[in-house]
Amino acid sequence: MLTNTNEALLIGKVEKLSGVPIRTIRYYESLGLIRSAGRTDGGFRYFSEDIFTRLSFIKRAQRLGLSLQEIADVLQIYDGGKAPCDKIQHKLEDKISQIDQQIDDLLKLQGELKRLLLGWKSFSNKPNDIICPNIQ
């Protein structure tokens, strides 16, 4: 993914080398997650090679369930000269708690659906004021 030169990378080349679409790169820049190194005389954005480290981090953090706002918070700590690992650890622990709650909620829903289906009745005639008596 990284090139071995110190050349400024135009946004199209960043897209090609990182696999991150130009539109997404621009969006990340608008959120402050990444910064261009400047603009060419023609007004095109260019980036330094550290863009790949940031894009890779952003994508990995998203896959782990962090929101872009949470990622922005972490990058702000990093950009301030501190290691954000403790903050990331707390965020990931929070994600585990959220997942545990979602699993509990889904298991409750599954139980409710199974109980509902155990007593399921078929109706050949359309009920008057009820769409489906089994679930109302």
pLDDT in tens, 85-118: 999 999 999 999 999 999 999 999 999 999 999 9
Residue 134 is inside which H or E element, if any? none
pLDDT at 2 over 50: no
The pair of structure tokens assigned to 38 is 């400047």
Under a CB-based contact definition with an 8 Å cutoff, are residues 10 and 44 in contact? yes
The side-by-side arrangement of strands in the sheet containing 45-47 is: 9-10, 45-47, 38-39
d(Cα 9, Cα 68) in Å, to the nearest integer? 24
Confidence of residue 127 (pLDDT cuts 50, 70, 90): confident
Q: What is the average pLDDT across 56-79?
A: 96
Cβ(135)–Cβ(116) under 8 Å?
Answer: yes
Residue 84 burial (CB count, 10 A): 18
Contact 47, 8 (CB under 8 A): yes
pLDDT exceeding 90 applies to what percent of the chain?
A: 76
User: In whole angstroms, what is the distance from residue 58 CA to residue 112 CA?
Assistant: 38
